[in-house]
Chains A and B, each alone.
Chain A
Amino acid sequence: MLAEGLRKGFGGKAALDGFDLAVPAGTVCGLLGPNGAGKTTAVRILATLLRLDGGRAEVAGHDVAREAPRVRRQVALNGQQSTVDDVLTGRENLVMWGRLYHLSRKEAHARAEELLAQFGLTDAADTRVKAYSGGMRRRLDLASSFITRPSVLFLDEPTTGLDPRNRGEVWREVKRVVAEGTTVLLTTQYLDEADQLADQVVVLDTGRVAAQGTPDQLKSTLGGDRIEVVVRTAEELPVVAGVLGPAAEVDHDAFRVSAAVADRVAALTRVTSALAARGVEAEDIALRRPTLDEVFLAITGHRAEARA
């Protein structure tokens, strides 16, 4: 998948402004950015749903503008909303999409059976989707994207609104299809999602690539996870700063000291016991991953503005 200098404007405002992307086959690329950064616009252009104003893009070896029908045969799109049909059963949904992807009746049924088993939905196959949980629905939605074993899958915020357990399930399924050779373009607002799934992360800011690299590279620009200690008195602040080391940042107003840590839980134990040994009773100790806002601030130097 390749994009060069994509431009797209809506009513004079540029949604994409010279967007470049190169995703090698069989890898996962995470598009990270706040609402309005242009993630969905990029996906819609690459999925042939939107015409580009400038630049060019190739998906699965075909130009998205000139060879849209060829592209459509090789891609699957999984949007933010669930497109499964509530009134139909899980099996009927899959058979329907199978037929629309031009499998014969027999093939569509066989493929539905296979996908139901793969996505752990065999028991619920003949239940109407209305009765499905949020996670089951999402899995069915994903399953319906795999009808034709697409070479490229677009996942637009696949876990927005799901609880942690269901997010885990979706992640597992995505990893499985990637292992089978599908190229995935994933948009997300969650850093940990990109961390879990993506080989390469691209951070979008107002229609342009602000940064790209592996999730680890990205996190190291931020110094990774942080430990935060809040104390009761100002006198204790230097003590805590001493424990957390030379990189500690002290917030005198909030009585808070924070520092980057590499080894999460071990660091927590170490700091807790060191503080106890020095007689400091902390008000609060917490491990915190950098939020997307912080990544964003660190990379772009300004806060994410929600435009969407």
Chain B
Amino acid sequence: MNAVGYAAVDSWVVAKRELVHWVREPVRVFANLAYPVISVLIFGLVFGSAMNVFGGGDYIEFLLPGMFGQTVAFGVGSTLLMVSMDADRGVTDRFRASPMSQTGVVAGRSIADLVNSSLELLVLALCGLVIGWSFHDGLVNALLAFALLLWLRFALVWVGIYVGLLVKPAAAQASWMFLFPLTMFANTFVSPELMPGWLRVVAEWNPLSSTVAAARELFGNPGVGGDSWAAQHSVLLAVLWPAVFVAVFWPLSVLKYRDLNR
């Protein structure tokens, strides 16, 4: 077998290990799913009637793409926790001291995380359909929206790998403290137009906002547009922002993984 073949086998073996974990210890999967589903119910049904969508429109229709985005962004927390646990337990060292390909480790990680996030998005979408969310611009556009969300998730795998190699599991567990505000200072729950000036700029240029706005556009959900350049080019930015993450964190992760000075 050639190098590419081995890399494929390595990736699959690593991904399979993760997937077996999820199947045998479904608690984590449920815990990860519970948060977005409960959030959809709380924000959609409890706060929903008091929420305004800038430019008009149904709040649940507005909310769901935001929840998809937040779920995808929270995924980075699970990536970095798994990566830091493997590093802490010496598993990463054994991978590194073995002949397996370095691509295999991260590719396996990406496959497992993308499968996991797809499942979360699917459950959330079904939940949304039940309480009144829908897509209005055809199945192809809807699938494109999900593809953009998963593209962001893929980019965040690299962020997660890099940060996971830097921090201890205990610190990784606290990652939601940063993720929570980062996903809220965005267009996920509220239109940036309704925020104070400085926060509005932050929210509009938040990479997550681009993906969420692009998803809203492709789903045909309300709350699209705005005065800023970022808001008007959300699809372009939803492609570019993750590309920037990959361009920055891919090499950083590879260097950190190979780091021979720890």
Interface residues of A (CB under 8 A from B): 10, 44, 47-51, 69, 72-73, 75-77, 79-83, 85, 87-88, 92, 96-97, 99-102, 128
In the complex, which of the residues B1, B13, B21, B260 contacts A49, with contact meaning CB atoms closer than 8 Å? B260
10 pairs, A vs B, C-beta closer than 8 Å = A49-B96, A50-B261, A50-B262, A51-B260, A76-B97, A80-B90, A83-B94, A88-B17, A100-B95, A102-B100
Q: Are A87 and B25 in contact (CB under 8 A)?
A: yes
Chain A positions within 8 Å of B91 at CB level: 83, 85
Given contacts A72-B99, A83-B89, 9 further A-B contacts (CB under 8 A): A51-B260, A77-B97, A80-B90, A83-B90, A87-B24, A96-B17, A99-B9, A99-B13, A100-B104
Q: Are B94 and A77 in contact (CB under 8 A)?
A: yes
Within 8 A of A (CB), among B213-262: 260-262
Within 8 A of A (CB), among B76-108: 89-91, 93-100, 104
**Given known contacts A49-B260, A79-B90, A72 and B10 CB-to-CB distance under 8 angstroms:** no
Q: Are A49 and B99 in contact (CB under 8 A)?
A: no
Decide yes or no whether B54 CB sits under 8 A from chain A. no
Chain A positions within 8 Å of B96 at CB level: 48-49
Decide yes or no whether B42 CB sits under 8 A from chain A. no
CB distance from B262 to the nearest CB of A (A): 7
Chain B positions within 8 Å of A82 at CB level: 89-90
Distance in angstroms between the alpha carbons of A49 and B93 in the assembled complex: 7
Distance in angstroms between the alpha carbons of A254 and B89 in the assembled complex: 45
CB distance from B206 to the nearest CB of A (A): 36
Q: Are B99 and A73 in contact (CB under 8 A)?
A: yes
Q: Is chain B's interface secondary structure helix, strand, loop, or mixed overall?
A: helix
Q: Are B97 and A47 in contact (CB under 8 A)?
A: yes
Chain A positions within 8 Å of B95 at CB level: 100
Distance in angstroms between the alpha carbons of A85 and B99 in the assembled complex: 19
In the complex, which of the residues B13, B20, B90 contacts A81, with contact meaning CB atoms closer than 8 Å? B90
Total contacts A to B, CB within 8 angstroms? 69
Q: Are B100 and A101 in contact (CB under 8 A)?
A: yes
CB distance from A40 to the nearest CB of B (A): 11
Chain A positions within 8 Å of B14 at CB level: 100
Decide yes or no whether B6 CB sits under 8 A from chain A. yes
A-B pairs, top 6 by smallest CB distance, nearest first, are A51-B260, A79-B90, A77-B97, A81-B90, A100-B100, A99-B13
Chain B positions within 8 Å of A128 at CB level: 24
Q: Are A50 and B260 in contact (CB under 8 A)?
A: yes
Within 8 A of A (CB), among B1-16: 1, 6, 9-10, 13-14, 16
Distance in angstroms between the alpha carbons of A178 and B113 in the assembled complex: 41
Q: Are A87 and B21 in contact (CB under 8 A)?
A: yes
Chain B positions within 8 Å of A50 at CB level: 260-262
CB distance from B99 to the nearest CB of A (A): 5
B5 and chain A: residue at smallest CB distance: A102
Chain A positions within 8 Å of B20 at CB level: 87-88, 92
Chain B positions within 8 Å of A88 at CB level: 17, 20
Q: Are A101 and B90 in contact (CB under 8 A)?
A: no
Chain A positions within 8 Å of B261 at CB level: 10, 50-51
Q: Are A102 and B99 in contact (CB under 8 A)?
A: yes
Distance in angstroms between the alpha carbons of A295 and B242 in the assembled complex: 58
CB distance from A227 to the nearest CB of B (A): 41
In the complex, which of the residues B1, B16, B89, B97 contacts A48, with contact meaning CB atoms closer than 8 Å? B97
